[in-house]
Structure 1
Amino acid sequence: MPYTAHVIMHRALPEIDGLKPSQRRILYTMFQMGLLKSGRKKSQGVVGQTMFLHPHGDMAIYETLVRLTKDNESLLIPYIDSKGNFGKHYSRDMKYASARYTEVKLGAIAGELFRDIEKNTVDMIENYDGTLQEPRLLPVTFPSILVNNSSGTAVGMASNIAPFNLNEIIDYTIASIKKPETDVMQYIQAPDMPTGGNIIYNEKDMRQIYETGKGSFKIRSTYRIEGNSIIFEEIPYTTTFEAIIEKISQLVKEGKIKDIVDIDDIYGINTKGIEITVKNSTNKAVLIEKLFKMTPLQDTFSCNFNLIVNGRPQTLGIKQIIQEWVAFRGNAIKRGALFDKTKKEQKRHLLLALKQVLLDIDKAVAIIRETNKNNQVIANLMSAFQIDELQAEYVAEIKLRHLNKEYLLHRIEEIETLEKEIAELHEIIHNKSKLDRKMIQQLKNVKKVHGQERKSQIIFADELPTLAPEEITIDNYNVRISVTKEGYLKKVPLTSLRGGNAMKVKDGDEIINQYSTTNHSDILIFTDKYNCYKYKTYEIEDHKLSGLGEYLPTLLNLQDESILFVTVTNDYKGNLLIGFEDGKVAKIALTAYYTKQNRSMLKNAYANKKALYWDHIHEDKEILGVSTIKKAIVFHTSMINPKTSKTTIGVQAMKSKKNSVVVGYYDLSGKEFEEKEYYVTKGAGIGKYLRGNDFSSILAQGSLF
């Protein structure tokens, strides 16, 4: 538990100043080395000095330093001005050079991290061995926690904070200080990624992120077309160009994309991006949409705004984070003002003594001249002019050349200036409106000096092309879909089944349904919360026989929701058969679940009551129903008319007696039982008591009694 708390509080999660301890120590070390104003120094020297504050390996420190640099392009507003090879965030294989070959200094904006730090604006604490002091937090003058992205994994929790444009964050912060109920979306358009790209904007999803700090949004690459080449330039922040090239190459090898002739990265001094050469006859618009759908050229950024606030981890929305930052920054400004006020009061205190002595400067000179011993001068001045020891020391230390009238009058005039400044500082400390004005002025200065245009552009989700699978020309091939009892779904191309190997399942699990279908089919998944989730078969990767497949609760991100039935369809033909606990059976035309829009979930997918039996039928069949009082009935589904309403309550197949309910329905198709005719009904009935071992082999499968 102590280790867990240490990882959470002092390693993995950022704090309100936007920094983790390792980042803060690197930057503070550079500040102490004078790298805010001087030239660059070797990274190795910075790493070595940082180890006095951060007792970890030099490579761990250097990796953190690399991500803070301008050349690595990890941060929207980099804090370190770098020279040399620092690798690239968007590349997996472009490794950074050794620390002895690179040089660094603090960037101009880093000055805003340390503004007035020498004025006791933040707490200073001892380092790990008590030999040095380091700041607990940095007194940042802008909400850096939301301007630069931060991610980390602690024990049992994680954080992933998206970056936002500095101008937009400052505009909202100023508006929030003036009017706390200001809507975030009036000022902040969307996240702004260091690598650019296009943010796909969905107002509902974005508002959820802004309000709760949780959610996700999609980023897609920018592109341009030159002849037979498609050049993707600004790729999503969450991927690398090597991963994109590998995925496209894999799709080409598998025959899922047949229009690409060549692919290469064109990253260089004056160029960047991935260049794809295609055939002359290629429909480039369709191919681009296909690549967005099937590769990381369009990716998802998952948000989890988890940070340390007042000594505990909290997941907050943007408004709450800004409120916490304003409180933190306000306290830092107050502490700085108190520091200045104390200094000025001390100076005024000394000058008041000088003013008093000025009334009879000759007397002061005479006292000093007539005092026999040096150690009695201070006491004699204190007694003669009724001043304290500090004031007497100040008067006694005045140089002989400063006893001229001009110097003394100038010092006296300074008292008035000090009193005005002390009054202003007092107002900042005790008057909230003055404090707010001070904070707003600092924010405006940061925006004026360091503000920048958005790197990521915004495209609206409802304006994106909506192409059907056949328009995207997704390869259509035969597949076998298997569903297991524990909720695993496996998609295996029929070509992989030719070897005759058995399909692997998890120990204790078993396959309950198999469907032979195509890659263009729809998968319908029904749950106990009356929802129907829809998934395109081609959205699921092909699996090997030896794999377990996709775990559906994870794939669908289900919370407190259990899967009851899965079926697959190409044409939405046939009927969905649902047997309910109350003895009613619904036959719903599967076309009721077809939608023109590619909806991923349908609510109220069936009647709001407990469903025991599910089947997707194309021909009617005989069904056995058994109740809690061991009565049974056999009925034919042709007696039930299909409905187009998903929430139909069904037709009464088995009536209740003595408050009994149905405990199971069983498919009798293809099975012959001599005793079956005894239980057959031509209409709804209460059934007949089970005799002896009737249907024993079927009932044993359900373990009813």
Structure 2
Amino acid sequence: MTQQSIVTSLRDNYMPYTAHVIMSRALPEIDGLKPSQRRILYTMFKMGLLKGNRKKSQGVVGQTMFLHPHGDMPIYETLVRMAKDNESLLHPYIDSKGNFGKQYSRDMKYASARYTEVKLADIANELFHDIDQDTVDMIDNYDGTLKEPRLFPVNYPSVLINTSSGTAVGMASSMAPFNLNEVIDFTIAYIQSKEVVVGDYILAPDFSTGGQIIYNAKDFKQIYETGKGSFKIRATYKIQGNSIIFEQIPYTTTFEAVIDKITDLVKEGKIKDIVDIDDIYGIDSKGIEIQVKSSTDKERLIARLYKLTPLEDSFTCNFNLIVNGRPQTLGVKQIVHEWLVFRSNCIQRGALYELDKKKKKKHLLKAFREVLLDIDRAIVIVRGTKLNKQVVSNLMEAFQIDEAQAEYVAEIKLRFLNEEYLLSRIAEIEKLEKEIQELNELSSDASKRSLVIVEQLNRVKKQYGKERCSLIVQANDLPMIKEEQISIDNYNVRVFVTKEGYLKKIPLVSLRSSNQLKVKDGDYVVREIDSTNHSDILIFTNKQNCYKYKTYELDDHKPSALGEFLPTLLGLQDEEILYVTVTNDYKGHLIIGFDDGKVAKIDLSAYSTKNNRTMLKNAYADKHSIYWDTTQEDYDLMALSTIDKIIVVNTSIVNPKTSKTTIGVQLMKSKKESLVSDYHKLSSEGYEEREYYRTLSAGVGKYYREGDFTDLVDLKMKRLGQGVLM
């Protein structure tokens, strides 16, 4: 048995695996494709499926395994998602026939690969444009027996057109799809002026399943600039008699999930107006039909269904893709810029490839012209040469041409020695010279390549552009509906937050019937908060952000459930959750203790907003916070420094502020560059030693006496290195 340190093991084994998953499996690249998708499409291209009839999917899967050694089912699942009949992509790359399931259905399973047929869709032509002209690198497949393209030389920004998502090790990607016409219009405008505004051309994402995008200018500006953020998408509906038909549901859900949620609400007695519910997906119909009582206020019920079910859902954007060999999270303008650099390079490489071919051809034709001046002499030389291998060398010597030129002349067929043919070939030299000049300019002048890109983009738009599938609804145009108007049940709940970031909302009725609270192994509850179903949950992160969530938007949990994993619920990537609290009325104060000895007391009302904002930036001062609490009454606070000094103060000496970014009031002063390592709230009783350390104003404190605050000092040691959800 070989022993090695954990650091060495991680570096030699885990890190290469991590890099492989990130670079070669999970994240899309600038051509908009992951390796698995690219290999399927390239296999179909080599099989001649750009033209002709469809072939069985099983054959495509089998051939793809020569490039992608990950099993037939993962390959077929990827193929299904790119197929037209699955309806996942705005512009599917595969023209399909057969049962490929549906993006909007959880239970509608696709047929086996041996029953379905595929070929490449027309738009796939744009993926392979001039791929045989050295426009992209060709690399070895996994066993070195075949070549495959490193990227496709796609001639439109497909990375922004078709949605893509993936989870790697420590990072993820979620690309929202945009309308092809809008993306091309913006790309052309960006070529003409780098100061162009994204939102002037790209209105909002556009999903293959339609729906309504709830447009908030501030949210979309953030997404366009940073590549991160989220937005709401809701189902469209129409009312027919006593039926409400939701026709286009959000891309993020399925009709089975919607029906299951509504069914649960009816069983729990939270909705009492629904008589029947069923899907009406068929050849001539599409959607979810809900039959209600004749006395039902339908608009009010629809508003409630939007609040309580996935009929209104969030799409989290994380435009994380691989550019120049490394993962980057980019905004829309940055992605378009990188694509233009990539596409310009493809055109340059193609121009250089054609330039080399035409120069070689011109070189050969020059010899042709030299020989034509004395064709009879050439014939005599050939006829007078005794050995076949000496023909080339004799021609080289007689006409002062090189070996390649001599070979070309020697291969001329007898029937081509007529005047018409010879003159046409010589005239071709002039044409080649003109083409060579144009290719020289194209390969050396970026502005000329930009003109080619614009020409290609306009052609793609004209040939494949289509109207938006998703409608856009301005957030300000939506009616303001209060909680009581949609009759959200209000009842007492207890919110539990664990060290690892799980949150569960348990009705007190369920809690009384079971005292067994389940958590993951090694995890434990750090906060219990009694509240109601009409409260707000505030979640603070180390990026100075405060995320807000309505308690009623969370499902009720059983004590045996793990609950919601907050990083996933909020779509967090590089943020660490520090503190979670719940409030009904935004009364009281938020207490934040910083390691520089300052304590901030912020009115909780500073986090109340008129609009239902889901995130507040600059939620507290940009400093290292180590203590969080919410309170309506002042209390004694103990601070312990890194040089083992203790101070006890009452929070009443800290004036409350309405500014969220207040830096706080100095309570513990630094000595010998010391920092505060821990704060702790003292209960009203006990801790008689507190008076020894008490001060009425800021100070450095007194050295810790053995035996004082023993339990709190031990707690401090346990907390070192954790610092989350305190």
TM-score over 0.5 for the pair? yes
Deviation at 1:511, TM superposition (A): 7.7
Q: 1:376 aligns with which of 385, 390, 415?
A: 390
Matched, 1:13 2:13: no
Q: Secondary structure of 1:247's match?
A: helix
Q: 1:46 aligns with which of 60, 67, 70?
A: 60
Partners of 1:215 and 1:304 within 8 A in 2: yes
Letter in structure 1 aligned against 2:289: E
Deviation at 1:472, TM superposition (A): 0.8
CA distance in 2, matches of 1:123, 1:648: 51
CA distance in 2, matches of 1:385, 1:530: 80
Most deviating of 103-112 and 186-195? 186-195
Partners of 1:484 and 1:513 within 8 A in 2: no
The TM-score with structure 2 as length reference comes to 0.80
* CA offset digits 1:530-576 (Å, max 9, x no partner): 9987654323322223446557787676946643x84644x678x66
Most deviating of 32-41 and 548-557? 548-557
Q: 2:103 aligns with which of 86, 89, 93?
A: 89
Letter in structure 2 aligned against 1:7: V
Spell out the pairing of 1:201-280 with structure 2 (5 A cutoff): 201-280=215-294
Most deviating of 488-497 and 464-473? 488-497
Partners of 1:567 and 1:616 within 8 A in 2: no
Q: Secondary structure of 2:239's match?
A: strand
Deviation at 1:191, TM superposition (A): 1.5
CA distance in 2, matches of 1:521, 1:372: 103
Matched, 1:537 2:546: no
CA distance in 1, matches of 2:668, 2:89: 68
Partners of 1:491 and 1:549 within 8 A in 2: yes
Q: 1:405 aligns with which of 416, 419, 423?
A: 419
Matched, 1:456 2:470: yes
Alignment CA distance shift 1:181-1:277 (3 Å): same
Partners of 1:483 and 1:566 within 8 A in 2: no
* CA offset digits 1:331-361 (Å, max 9, x no partner): 2112211222222222222222222222233
Q: Secondary structure of 1:439's match?
A: helix
CA distance in 2, matches of 1:135, 1:584: 58
Deviation at 1:77, TM superposition (A): 1.1
Deviation at 1:467, TM superposition (A): 0.7
* CA offset digits 1:160-201 (Å, max 9, x no partner): 211111122222222222323332222211111121111222
Counterpart position of 1:326: 340
Partners of 2:540 and 2:577 within 8 A in 1: no
Letter in structure 2 aligned against 1:448: K
Counterpart position of 1:151: 165
Q: 1:393 aligns with which of 403, 407, 410?
A: 407
Q: Secondary structure of 1:71's match?
A: helix
CA distance in 2, matches of 1:614, 1:167: 51
The Cα RMSD (Å) is 4.5
Partners of 2:177 and 2:206 within 8 A in 1: yes
Matched, 1:299 2:317: no
Most deviating of 360-369 and 222-231? 360-369
How many residues are treated as equivalent by the alignment? 680
CA distance in 1, matches of 2:336, 2:410: 52
Q: 1:162 aligns with which of 176, 192, 203?
A: 176
Deviation at 1:28, TM superposition (A): 1.2
Deviation at 1:386, TM superposition (A): 2.2
* CA offset digits 1:85-125 (Å, max 9, x no partner): 11111111111111111111111111111111111212222
Q: 1:57 aligns with which of 61, 71, 89?
A: 71
CA distance in 2, matches of 1:540, 1:455: 30
Counterpart position of 2:123: 109
Q: Secondary structure of 1:130's match?
A: coil
Spell out the pairing of 1:528-567 with structure 2 (5 A cutoff): 535-547=549-561, 549=563, 559=575, 562-563=578-579, 566=581
Partners of 1:580 and 1:612 within 8 A in 2: yes
Letter in structure 1 aligned against 2:282: G
Q: Percent identity at matched positions? A: 64
Counterpart position of 1:690: none
The TM-score with structure 1 as length reference comes to 0.83
CA distance in 2, matches of 1:212, 1:634: 43
* CA offset digits 1:642-691 (Å, max 9, x no partner): 99968999xx9x999x9xx99877565xx899x9xx99xxxx999xxxxx
Matched, 1:182 2:196: yes
Counterpart position of 1:692: none
CA distance in 1, matches of 2:289, 2:490: 27
* CA offset digits 1:275-326 (Å, max 9, x no partner): 1111111111121121111111111222222222222222222222222222
Alignment CA distance shift 1:293-1:36 (3 Å): same
Partners of 2:538 and 2:548 within 8 A in 1: yes
Partners of 1:344 and 1:418 within 8 A in 2: yes
Alignment CA distance shift 1:121-1:357 (3 Å): same
Deviation at 1:503, TM superposition (A): 5.6
Letter in structure 2 aligned against 1:219: I
Counterpart position of 2:150: 136
CA distance in 1, matches of 2:280, 2:123: 31
Alignment CA distance shift 1:403-1:12 (3 Å): same
* CA offset digits 1:35-59 (Å, max 9, x no partner): 1111111111111111222223122
CA distance in 1, matches of 2:648, 2:132: 86
Q: Secondary structure of 2:85's match?
A: coil
CA distance in 1, matches of 2:543, 2:124: 52
Partners of 1:612 and 1:665 within 8 A in 2: no
Most deviating of 97-106 and 594-603? 594-603
Partners of 1:13 and 1:158 within 8 A in 2: yes
Counterpart position of 1:337: 351
Partners of 1:579 and 1:665 within 8 A in 2: no
Alignment CA distance shift 1:96-1:559 (3 Å): closer
CA distance in 2, matches of 1:18, 1:267: 31
Matched, 1:290 2:304: yes
Q: State the structure with more CA Rg.
A: 1
Matched, 1:348 2:348: no
CA distance in 2, matches of 1:224, 1:35: 41
Alignment CA distance shift 1:608-1:174 (3 Å): closer
Q: Secondary structure of 1:334's match?
A: helix
Letter in structure 2 aligned against 1:386: Q
Q: Secondary structure of 1:491's match?
A: strand
Q: Secondary structure of 1:395's match?
A: helix
Q: Secondary structure of 1:134's match?
A: strand
Letter in structure 2 aligned against 1:397: E
CA distance in 2, matches of 1:529, 1:350: 66
Deviation at 1:129, TM superposition (A): 2.2
CA distance in 2, matches of 1:241, 1:117: 41
Q: 2:331 aligns with which of 314, 317, 320?
A: 317
CA distance in 2, matches of 1:585, 1:337: 65
CA distance in 1, matches of 2:364, 2:293: 85
Alignment CA distance shift 1:323-1:486 (3 Å): closer
Structure 2 residue runs of 5 or longer lacking an equivalent are: 1-14, 699-706, 717-726
Q: Secondary structure of 2:276's match?
A: strand
Deviation at 1:253, TM superposition (A): 1.0
